[in-house]
């Protein structure tokens, strides 16, 4: 049974550190070219279909920016 994941990213709290990107097994996330009010390039989903909702990104984000949902396909 395959899982599909989806993220809700609190872009205003993101500091653009890229630590979460190193933890994603499927290349789902990347930094945006745009910046938030603090001036950080924030995280965005670039390959939504590949997200399996493993929450790896969320458990290493120092700032608790990422909310993760997962459903059976």
Chain residues in the site for another protein (CB under 8 A) = 4-6, 8, 10, 13, 15-19, 21-23, 40, 48, 53-71, 73
Q: Which residue has the tokens 């458990």?
A: 59
Query: In angstroms, rounded to a whole number, what is the distance separating the alpha carbons of residues 20 and 37?
Result: 20
Residue 26 contact, options another protein, ligand SF4, none, Cβ 5-8 Å cut-off depending on partner type: ligand SF4
Query: In angstroms, rounded to a whole number, what is the distance separating the alpha carbons of residues 6 and 21?
Result: 15
Q: Which residues are at the interface with ligand SF4 (CB under 6 A)?
A: 5, 7, 14-20, 23-26, 28-29, 43, 51-57, 61, 63, 65-66, 68
């Amino acid at each position: 049974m395959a899982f599909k994941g989806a993220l809700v990213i609190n872009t205003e709290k993101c500091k653009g550190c890229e630590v979460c990107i190193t933890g994603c097994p499927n290349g789902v996330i990347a930094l945006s070219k745009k910046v938030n009010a603090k001036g950080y390039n924030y995280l965005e989903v670039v390959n939504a279909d590949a997200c399996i909702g493993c929450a790896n990104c969320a458990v290493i984000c120092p700032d608790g920016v990422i909310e993760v949902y997962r459903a059976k396909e």
